Each structure stands twice: as C-alpha cells, then as structure tokens.
Amino acid sequence: MKLEFKYFLGMIAIAGTALALSSCGSSKPVAATPAVPDEVRVVMYCNGPEYMSDKTALRFSAIGTSMDQMTSKKKALSEARAGLAAQIETKIKSVIDNYVKSSEHSNKEDLSKRYEGLSREVVNQNLAGTRTICEEMTKTKDGNFKTYTCVELGGPEILSSLNNKLSKDEMLKVDYDYEKFKKTFEDEMSKAGN
C-alpha cells in the first residue's frame, strides 16, 4: 500500500508539472484588435507657457480658419488683437483702480472716470504697436487654411502711452504722480505671469 501511495503521489506530481509546463510554453498569441481612440491629441501652435502674458508683456493667441489663406491669417490676427485689447483694458482698469484707491484725492469718483476714459484711448492707440511673435499655418483635410498666431504688447509701451495721456490731461496733471503710477503698473504686470 505504501508503494501504491508513493506511485500515486509521483503520478500526481508528474501530471502537475506537465500541466504547468504546457500552460507556460504554448500560450496562443492574442489577436491584436485595433484600438479606437476616443480622444485625439490636438496640436496648438503659438500656444503654451512661452506665449502667455508675463511681467514684461501682455500676449494673446488666436486661431483663424478660412478657405482663403489670407482671410484665415486676417481672422487670426483680428481675434488675437481683440483678445489682447480686452486684456490691456482689464489690466489698465486694475492699475487705475489701485492707483486711485491708494491716492489721496478729494473726489475719487470723478478722477476714476477720467482715468478710465483715457485708458480706452490708450488701448485703441496701443493696438497699432502690437507685434506678432508667432504665426503658423496649416491646411486641413477639407482644404481650409488654419492660421495660429500670438501677438504681444510690451509693458513699457503700455506704460509710456498711459503716462503721455495722463500727464497731458489738465484735470489729472495736478494730482498725477508718475512714480507711484509706475509702481502700481509694475505690480499689476508682475501678476500677469502668475
């Protein structure tokens, strides 16, 4: 009986080893099924950290699409300038609000309105000085042209235009402190990169 039991255990061990070896060595390759992606990576030219506003300049990126090459370029530039104008206006409003709040003027409301009126003139004037810092054009599979662009306007140019307007305004000239205004402006520009 001992012999039969040993023989039985030996047979189980051999069968187990054979089963283990056959399952390890002869695995069938799984048929490769083509993956259907539910997302496709989109390449955005003229976009990314190097095209974002920072303490030295305000920047704005845009895209224009058209069947005509020049029209796509004009659309992109127009969108970029409009976005930059909105950004400049917001920045100038913030500078003026902070400057007026920190100043000691008797009628801050009238002063604030006067500053805001001048800021709109400055925005319109400054857009002529924008620089295109990136421009890429592609052609889509349906034959349209797609233009990617980024425009910028430097902080010193904005400050200079503001200073010219503010220092020439008779009502504001009395209370206008350029150094204080410049400091307020630079503080706001330093927030652009954050």
Q: Is residue 103 part of a domain?
A: yes
Quote the pLDDT of residue 102.
Answer: 73
Q: Is residue 30 part of a domain?
A: no
Quote the pLDDT of residue 178.
Answer: 84
Q: Is residue 143 part of a domain?
A: yes
Quote the pLDDT of residue 192.
Answer: 77
Q: Is residue 4 part of a domain?
A: no
Q: Is residue 85 part of a domain?
A: yes
CA distance 114 to 108: 10
Instruction: Give the domain extent around 114.
Output: 49-188
Instruction: State the total domains in the chain.
Output: 1
Contacts of 173 (CB under 8 A, 6+ apart): 166, 167
Quote the pLDDT of residue 9.
Answer: 53
Q: Is residue 27 part of a domain?
A: no
Quote the pLDDT of residue 8.
Answer: 53
Give helix 155-168 / helix 178-191 axis angle, nearest 10°.
150
How would you write the pLDDT of the chain (194 residues) with one tens digit per residue? Answer: 555 655 555 556 565 555 555 555 445 555 566 666 788 888 889 999 999 999 999 999 999 999 999 999 999 999 999 999 888 888 888 887 787 777 665 556 666 666 666 666 777 666 778 899 999 999 999 999 999 999 999 999 888 888 887 777 776 766 778 888 889 889 989 887 65
